[in-house]
Amino acid sequence: MTDTDSLTEALRAISVSTELIEDELQPHLDTVLTALLDKKKDAALEVVRSGILPLLAQTLRSNSSLSCQVALLVAETAREAAVREPCIQAGLVTALLPHLSSSNQDLLLNTGRAIGRICFDNSQQQDQLVQSGVIPRLVSIMREYPQNDPLLNVCLLALCNLADMDSARDALADLDVADVLTFQLKRAPDAERRHVILEILSSLGESDTLKLQFAESGVPEALSEMIHSLQGGSDPHDLCSIKIASNLIVSLLLGDESMQKCFGEGSGLVYQDVLLWLQSSNTQLQLSGALAIANFARNGEINENVTSPTGF
């Protein structure tokens, strides 16, 4: 039997199942999953055409031992943009959401990937996710499993996709998310992870409430330390991180209270580092330094220190 025949037979067997008998379904699910993981041409479309999506949603709702496998199957199917709307119509998103409260890290990973792919670039679905309470759960997962890098990637990408939404920012303002993000920024294993976190911080930093929270939680200091650690190199990814981080610091200084916090009566770490940026060989840091000083100088009391002989 060819791989195509095996997939067709497996899909047919699943589609005619009238009861969720796990021992009978599992080998057929294995066959379908193998085809998807092997990137078999049009496998995802065949899954949709077979009509098994509602059965997959039913299996997820039953909390069976197959949930982890089914969530992975859905995640692999949803790699194809053309099948995402059928997944939504079959109720897979609502069936998957409760599994974000699981203590099984593999199930969390598969569920997060499935939801993220189905809802990618779909503002209506993303809004419904936020309304359903997905934001607190994502932050909780990051706190509970701070060393699980694949799971962290899923949560960070989800937050990155949602961070531009006002409703998401409001939800995050109640969760003290700054400490989670700065911890992960400091342990980021590569530039890709670092950039995702910086993008999240940049989006959230547009909120006045979060701007102040970030200043009070040490985000500017963490960004400044990161910039310091990356200076002197020529790696384009590092230079990009420096640009994003320095721009974010300048943005955070637009808030009067956050600016006062960073200034620290002239002895603040961020303020002292900004003065050094002006002497950097990195033109981006020179520019950000000048903009930061201009922001500091907006405040009359700070302006006296900035322009005094002991300041700048």
The pLDDT tens digits for 218-238 are: 999 999 999 999 988 889 999
The pLDDT score that the predictor gives to residue 16 is: 87
The pLDDT score that the predictor gives to residue 5 is: 82
Integer Cα distance of 45 and 302 in angstroms: 62
Would the pLDDT of 256 be above 90?
Answer: no
Would the pLDDT of 277 be above 70?
Answer: yes
Of 15-24, 148-157, 302-311, the least confident:
302-311
Q: How confident is the model at residue 264 (pLDDT cuts 50, 70, 90)?
A: confident
Nearest-CA neighbor of 263 among 271, 254, 255?
271
Would the pLDDT of 243 be above 90?
Answer: yes
Q: Any idea what DSSP says for residue 282?
A: -
Would the pLDDT of 4 be above 80?
Answer: no
Contacts of 114 (CB under 8 A, 6+ apart): 71, 72, 74, 75, 78, 92, 96
The pLDDT score that the predictor gives to residue 310 is: 43
Mean pLDDT of the chain: 91
The pLDDT score that the predictor gives to residue 312 is: 42
C-alpha separations of 145 from 57, 141, 155 in Å: 27, 6, 11
The pLDDT score that the predictor gives to residue 2 is: 59
- Mean pLDDT of all residues in 296-306: 62
